[in-house]
Amino acid sequence: MRYAALPFLLAFIFLAPACGRSGNDVYEKTAHKSLPDILEDAEFSITEHNLRVVDRLHIGKSIRERGNGEFPDYEIILYCSLTFAEKILALSPELINICPGRISVRGARDDYIISAPLWPEHGDKAVLNRLMHDMNTTVKTIVNYAAEDWPAPDGGRGSEL
């Protein structure tokens, strides 16, 4: 095994259980803009909501670099809020298994799907459900912002210099 692949193997080991969790909804939006624009908008919105980007995984790019040049883009942005984590883990320590949160982008050539698993908000603790609901509202806002097709600053007419 190459050492360069080790971070992706570790990410898979830690994220695989979260990928298969059932009972949670996934919020998705389609975007018709470039991958760099989507990622920039997502990360901007994440930070605007007082969340921290803790890592970004370039799954599609890494698979293409291994020889499958036609593999589509798959990006994962991992985000966290220590304040949110502290509150939910104090109420339900097993939730560490779904931390940090993530937003994924998949697709190719300006045709992407942005998605995020929503936090479970239908448990037996009302306070925890409210925290989860509030975070889900934030996550949906972030996905919506990343998917929005923003007009060019000049109205799309080009520079008139």
Domain locations in the chain? 24-147
Question: So what's the pLDDT on residue 1?
Answer: 47
How far is the C-alpha of 80 from the C-alpha of 68, rounded, in Å? 32
Range 56-62 contact pairs with CB under 8 angstroms and sequence separation of 24 or more: 57/8, 57/11, 59/8, 60/106, 62/5, 62/8
Question: So what's the pLDDT on residue 150?
Answer: 78
Helices of type H across 4-123: 6-19, 35-48, 59-65, 82-91
pTM: 0.80
Closest CA to 46 of 76, 25, 24: 76
Closest CA to 150 of 37, 35, 73: 37
Mean pLDDT of 74-97: 97
Cβ atoms of residues 38 and 146 within 8 Å: yes
How far is the C-alpha of 155 from the C-alpha of 97, rounded, in Å? 45
- CATH fit for domain 24-147, picks 3.30.450.20, 3.40.50.300, 3.30.310.70, 2.60.40.10: 3.30.310.70
Mean pLDDT of 26-50: 97
Mean pLDDT of 1-11: 49
Q: How confident is the model at residue 89 (pLDDT cuts 50, 70, 90)?
A: very high
Task: Work out the number of other CB atoms within 10 angstroms of the CB of residue 156.
Answer: 7
